[in-house]
């Protein structure tokens, strides 16, 4: 009998020295020099008038403009999401008339520039001074003065919301389509009806595909609100800062004021976006899984790990 | 014997475009019987199974389950028969009486095992949730998984997932269970536990139609074994007749390779 080697305690762990990466240091040097040049160019150029920027950054009119921009963004997204879910479900439904309506809505609002649409919303009180509820070519029950119902703010929100709904509808639809067909089969085989299958089985799983691009759309909407001057709506950030800049003959520093505010809001939204993506990315390969802290997170991880939802990576659509 | 068959398939044809998948199928399954469908892939076994619960619409013929015509209403007017397609809600009601188990399990991944089993009774039968949960726990116990009730499908092995899928189908108290290759996606060591549950289910008197390649299961459990090829039934008899003493050359060739 030869000696059987006895297992010794702990193995010696490998702790290698990392590879020296020259390219990393070269790029760091290049970026450092370029960055210094940029900072120098930004802060030493007297045309930027940073003193004026500081003076107007928290001006009451500007802050109100930020408020209106946020309100337009949120209201338009809310309308857009409701329209998107409705039209996406209509397009996947069994009623060919509703399928056609949803298709036509998307066709029109994706097929025309948002700027043109906003001009038309602004012109509505001129084109149709009175709005009435009644039978076509027959009696009218209610009559409104268009100007009173659709003022500039309502026109702006409707214009942005209807346009956004068309884009989001495609996102929702690809989300619903990304759920494995076996899920439909299992649910219908149990006797569930179309609407129940969508609501209870398909939509909860499609959320992970729908929500992250919707966050992206929100960031995009924030900047699209600057187009509502087409209505014209004159209280949002871009219009307000432009107006102040033109009055003072100092357009450049006021543009910078707008840029700073947009960047700050976008940064906040991006933090939210990152959290959403991590939340809905649970269970997919390459995502940190670990032990989820709560039931909702556990549910998302379970969906991800099951592989019944295809990851749609090309869903970055913006108007 | 005048007993009404649980499943009565008469002259069923199915076309996918120009492809003639089912070319005149006649098949009867009596209540409490276990019928095993075997045959090479592409022979139409799975399509036939899916035609029984209207997952596919048949092109010709009739399918009756417990005496009800599936997917259609037949009205005889002046000696002429007119067929009306049923409403979605009526088809859903018919389907709710037939359980189906899939090759890929198709559990709902966002629901725990017990929630998977509860879902259809709550949504379709409008059963109150506490009662549904209690009933679901009984079903999970029946398949030996009451200790996994709060696990998500992703946390279960393939065999456990398929057993939950069987419990989910049983929760609707079906009159008929359809199994579409229930063990084909499983690792070999997990096949036994699923077949065990199916064996017990057969012993409890459930009417079952099973598409499978498990010859052992067919020999042991099946009341009759149907061999299909090219969209037609080639042999229909006891396991001894169909599997062990096949007469048709295609069946001889197939079982020669499988056994």
pLDDT tens track for B105-146: 999 999 999 999 999 999 999 999 999 999 999 999 999 999
Give whole-number Cα distances, A197 to A16, A17, A111, B29, B96, in Å.
Answer: 54, 55, 32, 31, 14
Question: Using the beta-carbon criterion (under 8 Å), do A191 and B120 form an inter-chain contact?
Answer: yes
pLDDT of residue B221: 94
Q: What is the mean pLDDT of residues A202-215?
A: 91
Higher pLDDT, A292 or A203: A203
Q: What is the mean pLDDT of residues A234-247?
A: 94
The burial class, CB within 10 Å (0-12 / 13-18 / 19+), for A22 is: exposed
Instruction: Select the residue of B100, B152, B169 nearest A302 (Cβ to Cβ).
Output: B152
Residue A35 has pLDDT above 50, yes or no: yes
Residue A284 has pLDDT above 80, yes or no: no
Q: Which residues of B touch A194 (CB under 8 A)?
A: 88
Whole-number CA gyration radius for chain A: 27
Residue B259 has pLDDT above 90, yes or no: no
A308 CB within 8 Å of a chain B CB: yes
Q: Of B136, B140, B212, nearest to B179 (Cα)?
A: B212
Q: What is the mean pLDDT of residues A138-154?
A: 82
Question: Using the beta-carbon criterion (under 8 Å), do B93 and A94 form an inter-chain contact?
Answer: no
Mean pLDDT for all residues in chain A: 88
Q: What is the mean pLDDT of residues A68-85?
A: 96
Give whole-number Cα distances, B189 to B144, B183, B218, in Å.
Answer: 17, 11, 18
Of A295-299, B22-26, B49-53, B135-139, least confident by mean pLDDT is A295-299
Q: What is the mean pLDDT of residues B24-51?
A: 95
Q: Which residues of A touch B89 (CB under 8 A)?
A: 193
Mean pLDDT for all residues in chain B: 94
Q: What is the mean pLDDT of residues B216-240?
A: 94
Higher pLDDT, B258 or B89: B89
Q: What is the mean pLDDT of residues A210-238?
A: 93
* CA-angle at A123, arms to A121 and A128, nearest 5°: 100
Residue percentage of chain B with pLDDT more than 70: 99
pLDDT one-digit tens code per residue, A149-181: 888 999 999 999 999 999 999 999 999 999 999
Instruction: Select the residue of B88, B89, B172 nearest A190 (Cβ to Cβ).
Output: B172
Question: Using the beta-carbon criterion (under 8 Å), do B108 and A187 form an inter-chain contact?
Answer: yes
Task: Categorize the per-residue pLDDT at B20 as very low, low, confident or very high, splitting at 50, 70 and 90.
Answer: very high
Longest CA–CA span in chain A (Å) reads 110
What's the gap in Å between the CA of B231 and the closest CA on chain A? 23
Higher pLDDT, A148 or B175: B175
Question: Using the beta-carbon criterion (under 8 Å), do A302 and B123 form an inter-chain contact?
Answer: no
pLDDT of residue A296: 77
Residue B197 has pLDDT above 70, yes or no: yes
Residue A291 has pLDDT above 60, yes or no: no
Q: What is the mean pLDDT of residues B15-21?
A: 94
Residue A311 has pLDDT above 70, yes or no: no
Residue percentage of chain A with pLDDT more than 90: 66
What is the per-residue DSSP string for chain A?
A: -PPPPPPPSSPPPP-PPPPP-HHHHHHHHHHHHHHHHHHHHHHH-GGG-HHHHHHHHT-HHHHHHHHHHHHHHHHHHHHHHHHHHHHHHHHHSS-HHHHHHHHHHHHHHHHS-HHHHHHHHHHHHHH-SEEEEE-TTS-EEEEEEHHHHS-HHHHHHHHHHHHHHHHHHHHHHHHHHTB-HHHHHHHHHTT--HHHIIIIIIHHHHHHHHHHHHHHHHHHHHHHGGGGGGTT---SHHHHHHHHHHHTT-HHHHHHHHHHHHHHHHHHHHHHHHHHHHHHTTTSTTS-----SSHHHHHHHHHHHHT-B----------
pTM above 0.80, yes or no: yes
Q: What is the mean pLDDT of residues A207-215?
A: 90
Task: Categorize the per-residue pLDDT at A135 as very low, low, confident or very high, splitting at 50, 70 and 90.
Answer: confident
What's the gap in Å between the CA of A173 and the closest CA on chain B? 19
Question: Using the beta-carbon criterion (under 8 Å), do A196 and B98 form an inter-chain contact?
Answer: no
d(CA B214, CA A234): 74
| Contact between residue B176 and residue B66 where contact means Cβ atoms under 8 Å apart | yes
């Amino acid at each position: 009998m030869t000696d059987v080697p006895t297992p010794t305690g702990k193995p010696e762990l490998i702790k290698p020295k990392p590879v020296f990466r020259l390219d990393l240091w070269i790029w760091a040097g290049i970026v450092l020099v370029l960055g210094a040049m940029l900072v120098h160019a930004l802060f030493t150029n007297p045309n930027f008038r940073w003193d004026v920027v500081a003076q107007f950054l928290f001006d009451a009119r500007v802050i109100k403009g930020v408020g209106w921009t946020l309100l337009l963004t949120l209201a338009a997204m809310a309308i857009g999401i409701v329209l998107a879910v409705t039209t996406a479900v209509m397009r996947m439904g069994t009623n060919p008339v509703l399928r056609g309506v949803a298709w036509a809505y998307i066709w029109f609002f994706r097929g025309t520039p948002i700027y043109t649409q906003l001009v038309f919303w602004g012109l509505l009180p001129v084109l149709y001074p009175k709005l009435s509820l009644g039978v076509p070519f027959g009696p009218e029950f209610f009559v409104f003065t268009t100007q009173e119902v659709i003022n500039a703010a309502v026109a702006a929100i409707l214009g942005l919301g209807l346009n956004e709904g068309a884009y989001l509808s495609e996102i929702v639809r690809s989300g619903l389509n990304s759920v494995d067909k076996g899920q439909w089969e299992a649910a219908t085989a149990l006797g569930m009806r179309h609407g129940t299958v969508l609501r209870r089985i398909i939509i909860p799983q499609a959320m992970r595909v729908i929500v992250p691009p919707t966050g992206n759309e929100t960031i995009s909407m924030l900047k699209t609100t600057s187009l509502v001057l087409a209505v014209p709506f004159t209280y949002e950030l871009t219009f307000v800062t432009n107006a102040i800049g033109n009055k003072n003959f100092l357009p450049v520093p006021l543009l910078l004021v707008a840029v700073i505010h947009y960047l700050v809001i976008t940064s906040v939204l991006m933090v939210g976006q990152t959290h959403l993506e991590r939340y809905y990315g649970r269970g997919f390969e390459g995502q940190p899984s670990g032990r989820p802290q709560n039931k909702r997170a556990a549910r998302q991880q379970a969906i991800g790990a099951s592989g019944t939802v295809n990851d749609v990576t090309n869903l970055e659509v913006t108007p | 014997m005048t007993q009404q068959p649980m499943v009565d398939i008469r002259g069923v044809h199915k076309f996918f475009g120009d492809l003639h998948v089912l070319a005149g199928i006649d098949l009867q399954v009596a209540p409490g019987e276990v019928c095993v469908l075997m045959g090479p892939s592409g022979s139409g076994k799975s399509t036939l199974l899916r035609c029984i619960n209207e997952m596919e619409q048949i092109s010709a013929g009739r399918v009756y389950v417990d005496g009800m015509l599936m997917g259609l209403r037949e009205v005889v007017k002046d000696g002429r028969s007119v067929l009306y397609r049923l409403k979605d809600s009526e088809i859903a009601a018919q389907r709710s009486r037939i359980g189906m188990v899939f090759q890929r399990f198709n559990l709902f991944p966002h629901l725990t095992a017990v929630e998977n089993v509860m879902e259809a009774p709550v949504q379709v039968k409008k059963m109150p949730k506490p009662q549904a949960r209690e009933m679901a726990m009984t079903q999970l116990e029946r398949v030996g998984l009451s200790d996994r009730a709060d696990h998500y499908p992703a946390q279960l092995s393939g065999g456990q997932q398929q057993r939950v899928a069987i419990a989910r189908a049983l929760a609707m108290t079906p009159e008929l269970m359809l199994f579409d290759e229930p063990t084909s996606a499983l690792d070999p060591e997990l096949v036994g536990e699923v077949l065990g549950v199916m064996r017990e289910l057969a012993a409890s008197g459930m009417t079952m139609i099973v598409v499978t390649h498990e010859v052992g299961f067919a020999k042991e459990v099946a009341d009759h074994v149907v061999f299909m090829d090219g969209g037609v039934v080639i042999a229909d008899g006891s396991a001894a007749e169909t599997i062990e003493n096949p007469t048709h050359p295609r069946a001889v060739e197939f079982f020669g390779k499988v056994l």
